[in-house]
Chain A
């Protein structure tokens, strides 16, 4: 069943550009993104900085203003809800951010931080303490850490606190924005295992925003690759990783150094030239045309559509997945 459905979402920010800020311009951070997440499913959104993956997550949470398109949660259009209804929907959607240090109030105890959403959403006072204990146990925190402050915890423990806080109101969807990027390597897999176990036990859905593709391959059911505000490829994780269609996905996968010195020099690597174009002045046709190794003439004039290139595997490329013009 579809839990979240994003339809042609646009998030455009007006900015002042030019040398003295005199020229008005539009940053199209997200420029027509459609995605769906089913219940108990993990959809990963990947891409490099500036591709719009975090803005997409923020728009779902109401933290970035959507300037076009629709966001439907359990079939209800979020933009049409009144304040009371919206508060109710927000209980079902929670977020885990990248940096647990910034996400926790340093002056509150762990128990206070975890209790806060419960209090805001009118949880019976007598039950809050028991619920906090239950949540701490669920995410693997010791009860004796209740009255500690974030400063006394390690990075991994702090992220467990953030996860406990997100789960207090039994959400259906958790938006995880780079949840392990700020953690030490030896701690990352603890948190990933925790997220996977919680999904099994509580039937959660994740919108998993990440740039580390090794992590994504492990945790996601489906993956969407974004570039300059557009989805360029989307499909089941194993298919996208083993048979990428879009040249950007291919380059992204091949650019990741693998922890195996025996493969050095033996892997085919595509090293892209140049930088991401400025989002103030994106290419007219395909967003990837300025760096694409297989671009053709029409790629710089016509924007390719997202088409089905293989079963449930979509891509946006004139060369690899031409549209049916008939």
Chain B
């Protein structure tokens, strides 16, 4: 049974379309990676799920179902009972996402208290236990400290502890390791996969790093220009990319484990801004396979591996 199902989601800023018909689903306990470059709409998709779209942004159409209940139809109060309890989110910048004036232990305990799952004393004991489980040494003392007294990596552990303490069914992680150094990133990725597996939490992982995707994801959803261009199991996406954008994106990455062979493969052109997205397929102006038909919108077609392209590299298996 599907945990999260997003159907034909569109997000607009006034008349400007930013997310245009995103369809994806997340099963219980799985890691679904949402991949794309800046402006692809991946973060807006995630914020729509949480009901946290900023001022001026609105869900224009589509539905977002968590366990069969449509989140887009809920009022703020109903969403508040879900946020922090059934679904939680961690952000890219751990230091700016934590309250600088509140000791980290209280911030981890907060969601238990707000949702009435524990009395303050009991919640604090659980928070300290959670801090220990995310690998913070001397958690009882650290719990009394402010975020500024902790390193960036430690703050990200605190955020993970705060997100996972109420054992949510869905964790949305928006670039959770992008602001961290690579040796700290390895620790955090390791921690996320161990802890979520224990509780059975599903992760919607938003990232631009294909290395992180390959390391953590079960399935991948590739976005470009506010739309899904390809979706499928992680092995298929990397071994048999169907959409020209996915194939070019994978080819353009310099590889750490390969000797350099002269020029890097480069995708021509620029990432277009939502103001100049072309008609039809939004990648067609940079694509080497485009033809006349590409000026109409390609549908997302296929089975477990699907792509939105009239001239796919290969037929989805």
Residues of A within 8 A of B (CB): 48-49, 154-157, 184-190, 192-193, 196, 211, 213-215, 217-219, 238, 241, 251-253, 255-264, 269, 271-276
Task: Report how far A272 CA is from B180 CA in the complex, Å.
Answer: 14
Q: A154-B271, A184-B37, A259-B238 are in contact. Are A48 and B266 (CB under 8 A)?
A: no
Enumerate chain B residues within 8 angstroms of A214, measured Cβ to Cβ.
Answer: 253-256
Q: How far is the CA of A274 from the CA of B137 in the complex (A)?
A: 9
Q: Are A185 and B208 in contact (CB under 8 A)?
A: yes
CB-contact partner of A271 in B190, B208, B257, B259, under 8 A? B190
B224 closest partner in A (C-beta): A186
Please judge, given known A-B contacts A185-B249, A193-B263, whether A258 and B208 are in contact too, CB under 8 Å: no
Instruction: Kindly provide the distance from the CB of B195 to the nearest chain A CB, expressed in whole angstroms.
Output: 15
In the complex, the answer to whether A272 meets B187 with C-beta atoms within 8 Å is yes
Q: When A184-B37, A190-B266, A263-B214 are in contact, do A257 and B189 touch as well, CB less than 8 Å?
A: yes
| Given A190-B266, A262-B239, residue A184 in contact with residue B253 (CB < 8 A) | no
Q: Is B291 an interface residue (CB 8 A)?
A: no
Q: Does B295 contact A (CB under 8 A)?
A: no
A240 CB → nearest B CB, Å: 12
A148 CB to closest chain B CB, in angstroms? 13
Q: Smallest CB–CB gap between B13 and chain A, Å?
A: 18
Contacts from B to A (Cβ < 8 Å): 37-38, 137, 151, 153-154, 181-187, 189-190, 208-215, 217, 234-235, 238-239, 248-250, 252-257, 259-260, 263-267, 270-271, 273
Shortest CB–CB separation between residue A213 and chain B, in angstroms? Answer: 6
Question: Which residue of chain A has its CB nearest to the CB of B210?
Answer: A259
Choose among B250, B255, B271 the residue that contacts A184 (Cβ–Cβ < 8 A). B271
- Asked if A259 contacts B213 (CB within 8 A), the reply is yes
Whether A184 contacts B254 by the Cβ 8 Å rule is: no
CB-nearest residue of chain A relative to B257? A258
Q: B183 — which chain A residues lie within 8 A by C-beta?
A: 48, 251-252, 255, 271-272
A275/B210 contact (C-beta < 8 A), A189-B264, A193-B264 known = no
In the assembled complex, how far is the CB of residue A49 from the closest CB belonging to chain B, in whole angstroms?
6
Whether A154 and B270, one on each chain, are in contact in the complex, defined by CB atoms closer than 8 angstroms, is yes
Q: Are A186 and B215 in contact (CB under 8 A)?
A: no
Contacts of B182 in A (CB 8 A): 48, 211, 213, 252, 255-256
Query: With A48-B182, A275-B184 in contact, is A189–B271 under 8 Å at CB?
Result: no
Using CB atoms, name the residue of chain A closest to B245. Answer: A186
Q: B208 to A184, Cβ gap below 8 A? A: yes
Decide if A189 touches B252 in the complex (CB within 8 Å). yes
Contacting pair A193 B214 (CB below 8 A)? no
Residue B37 contacts which of A49, A186, A260, A275 (CB distance < 8 angstroms)?
A186
CB distance from A138 to the nearest CB of B (A): 17
Partner of A260, one of B184, B214, B248, B266: B214
Contact A257 B254 (CB under 8 A): no
21 CB contacts below 8 A, A to B, read A48-B183, A157-B270, A186-B249, A186-B252, A186-B271, A187-B271, A188-B252, A189-B254, A189-B266, A189-B267, A192-B254, A196-B263, A211-B181, A238-B259, A257-B209, A257-B211, A258-B257, A261-B234, A272-B183, A273-B187, A275-B151
**Given A219-B260, A257-B209: 8 more A-B contacts, CB < 8 Å:** A154-B273, A184-B208, A186-B248, A217-B254, A218-B260, A241-B256, A256-B211, A271-B187
Query: A296 → chain B, closest Cβ, in Å?
Result: 21
Give CA–CA (A48, B184) in the complex, Å: 10
Which of A49, A184, A193, A219 is packed against the most chain B CB atoms within 10 Å?
A: A184
A residues in contact with B208, CB < 8 Å: 184-185
B270 contact set on A, CB distance < 8 A: 154, 156-157, 187
Our pick among A154, A190, A215, A276 for the contact of B151 (Cβ within 8 Å) is A276
Is the pair A261, B235 in contact by a Cβ cutoff of 8 Å?
yes
Residue of A nearest to B182 (CB): A255
Residue of B nearest to A180 (CB): B254
Cβ–Cβ contact A258 & B266, under 8 A:
no
| A255 with B252: CB separation less than 8 A | no
